[in-house]
Chain A
Amino acid sequence: MAIRHYWSMAAAAVGFRLVLVLFGGDLHLASRPEVSTPLTSIRRLAEGYWLKQASMSPYSGSMYHGSPLLLSVLGPLTNKSLIFVAVDFIAAMLIRATGRKLQIARNRSLKSLDLTEAVSNSVNVSAGDIASLIYLWNPWAIVTCVGSCTSPVENLMVVIIIYGACSRLAPLAAFGYVMATHLSLYPAILIVPDIRYFFAEVFDFFRSFFLIVFNMNIIFMVLPLAIRLKHRPCFLAFVYTGIVAMLKSYPSVGDSALYLGLLGLFANELAEMHFTFFLFFGYIGVSLLSPVMHNLWIWRGTGNANFYFATGLAYTCLQTVLVIESSILHLNSLNRGFLYWGLVGPGPSIPLPRYHY
C-alpha cells in the first residue's frame, strides 16, 4: 500500500534541501565536525583539487585523504552543492525501488506457498516509500547534504550495492561495491570477505597494534552475523551499515543517515520495536548536545575534549541499542512468521521473556 502524498513529500524534501543550499550559507555546516570529517570534507577536497591543478601531489601533506577518483570527478564541482541534492534524491529513489523489490519477493514467496489470503490480508504499508521518505527527511541526511561533504556519494554507492543485489543485477552491485570500497573501504564488509586478504591489507596499512584491534573490531562481527542472518541478506546489509557507522574511525552523521534510511525498509517487521521513544529522543538529545559540547570545548574553554567525547559515547550507545533491538525483533519476527505459515517448528530463537509467540 502506497503512502498518500508520497511525491509531494519527497518534492518538499528536495525543495527544502535546495532552499538550505541556496540560502543557508550562514549556517557553516561544512565546518561542523559532526558533519564533515577529514575523510569526507569537501573543503579538503577543494584544496586537494587546487593542489592537483597546480601540479602538486594532494597527498603529500595531510590535507586530503580521500580518493583520487573523487578528486577528478567532484573536484571541478566543489562549489556546486546542488549535485549532492541530486545524489541524495537518487539514493532515496533506489531505496524505494529496493523496498518494492523486497515486497514483490515476499509476496511471490507467499503466493508460491498458496497463501494468497495472507497476501491480500496484509495491511503492510509500502516499506520502500517509508524508507525513502525517512532518508529524504532525516535531518542528518539533510545536514550532510547541505554541509557538502562526500558522504552522500559514499551512501549512494552503498545503496547501489543493495539495490543491485536485491534486483539481481550483479554488474550494478559489483560496480557499487567497488566504488564504495574505493571511497571509504568500510563497505568492504558488505561482502563477507576473505579474511586472509584483509589481514594482509590491514597489517600493511596500520602500524600499531592498537589501531589494528580498533579497526579489526568490525571484521570480527562479520562472520557470526552472516551465519545468523543468512536468510535475510538485506537486513544483514542494514546491520553491517549500522556497525560500520558505530565502529568506523571518523564517523559522521552521514553514516547514520544511511542506516536509518535502510531501517525504514523493515518498517513492517519492526512495528513492535521496544525503546523507540527512548531512542527517538536520545537521538535528538545527542544531536543537540554535540554542538553545545563542542562550543564548550573549543570556544569557551570551560569544558574539555572529554565532554565532547562523552557525547560520542552516548551516540554510539544509542546506535548499539538500535541495532541490537532491531536484530532481536527481526529474528523473532522471522521465527514467528515461519511458525505462522507452518513451515518450520519453533526453531532457535533468542530466549527473551518479553517475546511470546
Chain B
Amino acid sequence: MASSATEEAKPKPRLIVRLGVFLASHHILFSAICCTAGVIALLFLPALAKNTYLSENALIPGSANTLFSTEDVLEANRFAKGIEAATGESRGGTEIPKFIAQQMKNLGAEVYYHEFLPDSKCFHPLKFFTSMTNNMAVKPNGTYTNFGINTIGIIRAPRGDGKEAIVLVTPYNSQRVQPNELLSLSLGFSVFSLLSRVAWLSKDIVWLSADSQFGEYTAVSAWLNQYHNPMFLSHPVTLATKMYGANRIIYKPDGTTEKAELMAFKRAGTVAAALIFKVGETRKYGDRDSVTMYAEASNGQMPNLDLLNVVHYLAVHRQGFRVNIETFSSLLTSSWLKVIAEVFHNIGTVLRKVNPDWKLDVTVPDYVEGTANLASSIYNQALGIPTGSHGAFRDYQVDAVSLEFGPAFHLRNENAKSSFLLRGGRLTEGVVISINNLLEKFHQSFFLYMLTAPSKFISVGVYMIPFALLLAPLPIVAAALAGSSKTKGKLLDECKTKGSADDLQIECGSWKWLKSARVLLVIQFWAVLVSLLPYYISQIPGAMPIQYAVIWAVLSIAILIILYAMFGSPFHAGVEWKLLKATMITTITLGMGLMSIINFATAQLGALILIPMCLFSRPLREQLEMTFLPRTILLVSSILLTLLGFPPVAFLIMNGLSKGSWTVDIVGDFWLWMEFLWEWSSATYLYVFLVHLPCWLLCIHVLLHPCHQPESKMKQE
C-alpha cells in the first residue's frame, strides 16, 4: 500500500532529468554520432580559419616612415668587417663579446656581460606547477672553464620613464661564427645603432647578443632568469670562483673598475615584447627573401596574435618578404589529403549554394596547405616544447616571436646583402616602432589560437568544437553505465542476506563503486611511480636508450605486480566491469578537461586516441556471446584501438605522420622522446603518464574482465 501511494505521489521529473535519462538510454548512438561529428569537425578546421586582423589600435604598423637607411647598412658592413678582423686573432672566443661591447659603448649605450653555465637538464616533472622563482641557477661547485658570455646593451629611452623595455635578440655562436650569424649580428647592431640615435623611443631597448654555443634557448633563458630573479647571494665567494676564469680572460689586470662596471647586471623595465631574429644557414631558392615565424612556446602557449600580425603586415606589405610558418611538408604531397580536400571543397560548394554567407568552399591547394600548417601548429603545441628561444620569454609572460630570415641570395653577393640588410633593418625598426607605441602590454588579440597560414588563424572558440564533441558523450556513457549497474546491484542486494561486514558495507547501495575507485587509485599510484622512475633510471651511466627503456618497462611491470600483490588484483576483487568502465570514463573526462586547460593541443590529440578506445572497450568474454558480425567488428576494433592507445605505439604513429618516415627502433626512440619531454618539463609528459597510461591499463582490465563473477555469486546465494 505504501509503495502504491508513493507511486501515485511521484511527480513528473524535470525536463533536464528526462533528457538525461533519454540520452543515457541511447548512449551508444549518441556517442557514435558525437565522435563522428568530432572527427569531421576537426577535419573541417582548415576551412574555418579566418584572416588575421590587428586588434590593438595603438600598434598602427607601417604608419611611420622608417629611418633605417643605406648609412646604417654601411655601419652594418663595417661592424661585420670588425668582427671578422677580431676573430682572425681569436683567443678562446672572447674577442667577439669584447668587440661588440666596445662598439655598443661607442654608441653611448650601457653595456655589460652576462656569463652563464650550460643548463644541466634534469628531470623535474613537477616544474609545471612551481613558480618561476624556484628554478634558480645551478649551484656551481668548482671552477668552470666552459661558459657562455652574453653581451647586452641598453639604450635608455629619451621619452620613457624606464619602466618598460623591448628586447632584441641575435643569437650567435661565439666559438665559431658562421657567415649567416655574422649577418644577423650586423643586422642587430645596425638596428641598435639607429635606435640609439632616434628621439621617439619611449621604451628602453635591450639588445642581447646571445652566445648560442650551448643552444640559444639556454643563453636567453639564463639571462631572463637573472633579469627577473635578482640574486642576493649569501656566498659571494661561489660566484667569484665560478666566474674567475672569465674575468681573467676578458680583462687586463689593471681594468678593475671597468671590470666591475661591465660585470654588473643592469636592467631595464618590464619587458613589453621581444623579437629574436637570425639569418638562416641555408640559402632558400625563390624569387623573394623569406621570413619564417616561430611562435610556439612551452606547453602550447602562444604570443599574442597581434605581435605576429604586426610582423606579418610589415614583412609582406612594406618590405616585400615572403612570410612562412612551419609546415609538415610530407602532408603537402600526400594524395589522401587531396582526396579529403576535394570532398570538403564539394561539400563547401553545396553549402555555399544553400547559404551564400557560408564561405566554406576552400580550394584544394589552400586546404592542403592549411592542413599541413595546422598539423605542424598542433604538433608543436602538443609537444609542449618551445620552437626557439622565444619560449624562454613566454615563461615570464612576455610576448616574443622568432624570425628566421631565409635569404634567396648567396651570402657573398654584396649587393643583394645590402638590399637584404636594408629591408631586414626596416622590418625590425618597424616592429620596434609599433611596440613602442603600445600603452599597455599586449592583451587585445588572441592568446589561444592555431595558425593555418601566416595570416590565417583558428581561434579557441572554433577549435574547441571538435574536442567538445569528442568529450560530450563521456559523462552520458558514465552515467548510463553506473545507472545500469545500480539497478542490477539492487537485485543483488535483495537476494543477499549475510556476508562479511566489509563486503556488505561496500556492496550495499550506492557505495558499490568504491571497489572500482580502489582499482583506479592503485593504478594511478602505479602511474605516478612509473612517471618518476626515469629520474632514477637516467642516473645509471653509460647505457643505450634501448637499455634504459627496457629497464623502465621491466621495473614498471614489476611494480604493477607488487602493487597488485599488496592491494589485491582487480581481477579477483569482483568489480563489475560496467562500474570499472564508468570509473575509467570519468577519469578520462577529468584528465582531458584538465589537460585541455593546460595544453589544448595535447588534449585534442589524446582525445582522438583515447576516447574511441574507451568507448569501444567491452569485456572480451561478453563479446564472445554475441553473434558473429558484431562480435568480429567489436573484437577487431577494440583490440586495434587498444593497441593504438599504448603510448609507445601512439608515439610511433605520431612521429611517422609528422616526419613522414618510420623508424624501427621503437623502444629506444620512445625513451629518447620521453627524455626530450622531461628535459623541457613539458606537461605532455605528465599527460602521457598520469592520464593516458592509467586509462589504457584500465581499458585492458575492462577487456580482460572475467565478467561471470556476479552471476556465480548470485547462484551461490
Decide: A281 near B508, CB < 8 A? Known: A293-B597, A299-B132, A356-B3. no
- Nearest B residue to A27 by beta-carbon distance? B126
Known: A276-B511, A277-B513, A281-B590. A125 touches B502 (CB 8 A): yes
Please measure, in the bound complex, the distance between the C-alpha atom of A284 and the C-alpha atom of B521, giving whole angstroms. Answer: 11
- Asked whether B9 is an interface residue with its Cβ less than 8 Å from the other chain, the reply is yes
CA distance A280 to B301 in the complex (A): 32
Contact between chains at A274 and B586 (CB < 8 Å)? no
By a CB distance below 8 angstroms, the chain A residues around B502 are 3-4, 125
Q: A125-B505, A272-B508, A293-B597 are in contact. Are A277 and B482 (CB under 8 A)?
A: yes
Q: Which residues of A contact B2 (CB under 8 A)?
A: 356-357
Q: When chains A and B are docked, how far (Å) is the Cα of A293 from the Cα of B3? A: 48
Within 8 A of A (CB), among B1-15: 2-3, 6, 9-11
Bound CA–CA A356/B4 (angstroms): 10
**Contacting pair B126 A353 (CB below 8 A):** no
- Shortest distance between the CB of B587 and any CB in chain A (Å): 8
- Chain B minimum-CB-distance residue to A303: B597
Give the CA-CA distance A281 to B521 in the complex, in Å: 12
* B572-603 with Cβ < 8 A to chain A: 582, 586-587, 590, 593-594, 597-598
Question: Taking the complex as formed, is A28 at the interface, i.e. its CB lies under 8 A from any CB of chain B?
Answer: yes
Task: Count residues of chain B with CB under 8 A from any CB of chain A.
Answer: 36
- Complex: A229 Cα to B9 Cα, angstroms: 26
Expressed in whole angstroms, the minimum distance between the Cβ of A255 and any Cβ of chain B is: 23
Q: In the assembled complex, how far is the CB of residue A289 from the closest CB belonging to chain B, in whole angstroms?
A: 6
Nearest CB on B from A355, distance (A): 9
> B52: shortest Cβ distance to chain A, in Å?
18
Tell me, in angstroms, the Cα distance from A31 to B482 when the chains sit together: 38
B513 near A276: Cβ-Cβ < 8 Å: yes
Residues of B near A271 (CB, < 8 A) are 505, 508-509, 511
- Distance of B683 from chain A, by nearest CB (Å): 10
**Does B627 sit at the interface, judged by CB under 8 A?**
no
- Shortest CB–CB separation between residue A256 and chain B, in angstroms? 18
Q: A125-B502, A288-B590 are known contacts. Are A273 and B510 too (CB-CB below 8 A)?
A: yes
A residues 257-288 in Cβ contact with B at 8 Å: 267, 271-277, 280-281, 284-285, 288
- Count of residues in A whose CB is under 8 Å from the partner chain: 38
A272 engages B509 (CB within 8 Å): yes
- Do residues A123 and B517 form an inter-chain contact, with CB atoms below 8 A? no
Indicate if A351 sits at the interface (CB-CB under 8 A).
Answer: yes
- Whether A348 sits at the interface, judged by CB under 8 Å, is no
Check B594 against A288 for contact (C-beta < 8 Å).
Answer: yes
A274: nearest chain-B partner, CB-CB: B510
Which residues in A have their C-beta under 8 angstroms from that of B597? 289, 292-293, 296, 303
B interface, over-half SS: helix
> How far is B504's CA from A253's CA once the two chains are assembled, in angstroms?
31
Measured in the bound complex, the distance between the Cα atoms of B504 and A267 in whole Å is: 13
Closest to B475 in A: A278
CA distance in complex: A288, B593 (Å): 10
Q: Which residues of chain A have C-beta atoms less than 8 A from B126's C-beta? A: 26-27
B501 touches A (CB below 8 Å): yes
Contact: A277 with B397, CB < 8 Å?
no
A33 within 8 A of partner (CB): no
Residue numbers in B under 8 Å from A200 (CB-CB)? none
Instruction: Indicate whether B234 reaches chain A with its CB closer than 8 angstroms.
Output: no
CB-CB nearest in chain A for B582: A277
Q: Is B130 an interface residue (CB 8 A)?
A: yes
Chain B, residue nearest A285 (CB): B590
Q: Is the CB of B132 within 8 A of A302?
A: no
Are A299 and B131 touching (Cβ within 8 A)?
yes
Known contacts A125-B501, A288-B590; A353/B582 CB under 8 A? no
Nearest chain B CB to A11's CB is how many angstroms away? Answer: 16
Q: How far in angstroms is the closest Cβ of chain A from B414?
A: 45
Let me know if A184 is at the binding interface, CB within 8 A: no
Is A312 in contact with chain B by the CB < 8 A criterion? no
Tell me the chain A residues, 310-357 only, with Cβ under 8 Å from chain B: 351, 353, 356-357
Quick check: A123 and B501 within 8 Å, CB to CB? yes
Contact B510 A281 (CB under 8 A): no
The answer to the question of A196 belonging to the interface, with a C-beta cut-off of 8 Å to chain B, is no
For A351, the chain B residues whose CB sits under 8 A away are: 9
A83 to B635, CA, bound (A): 57
B603 to A: closest C-beta gap in Å:
12
Contacts of A281 in B (CB 8 A): 586-587, 590
In the assembled complex, the CB of B499 is this many whole angstroms from the nearest CB of chain A, namely 9
A300 within 8 A of B: yes
B503-537 vs A: 1/0 string, CB under 8 Å?
01100111101000100000000000000000000
- Residues from chain B with a CB closer than 8 A to the CB of A357 are 2
A38 contacts across to B, CB distance below 8 A: none
Bound-state Cα–Cα, A136 to B511, Å: 20
Is there contact, CB below 8 Å, between A295 and B128?
A: yes
B232 within 8 A of A: no
CB interface residues, B 97-155, toward A, < 8 Å? 126, 128-132, 134
7 contacting pairs across A/B (C-beta < 8 A): A26-B126, A26-B130, A271-B508, A285-B590, A298-B131, A301-B397, A353-B10
Beyond the given pairs A281-B587, A292-B598, A356-B2, 18 more chain A to chain B contacts, judged by CB atoms under 8 angstroms and listed by A's residue number, are: A28-B134, A271-B505, A271-B511, A272-B508, A273-B511, A275-B510, A276-B511, A276-B513, A277-B510, A277-B582, A277-B586, A285-B593, A289-B594, A296-B597, A298-B131, A300-B301, A353-B11, A356-B3
- Please name the 4 residue pairs, one residue from A and one from B, whose CB atoms are nearest each other, closest first: A272-B509, A301-B397, A353-B10, A285-B590
Residues on B facing A (Cβ under 8 Å): 2-3, 6, 9-11, 126, 128-132, 134, 301, 397, 447-448, 482, 501-502, 504-505, 508-511, 513, 517, 582, 586-587, 590, 593-594, 597-598
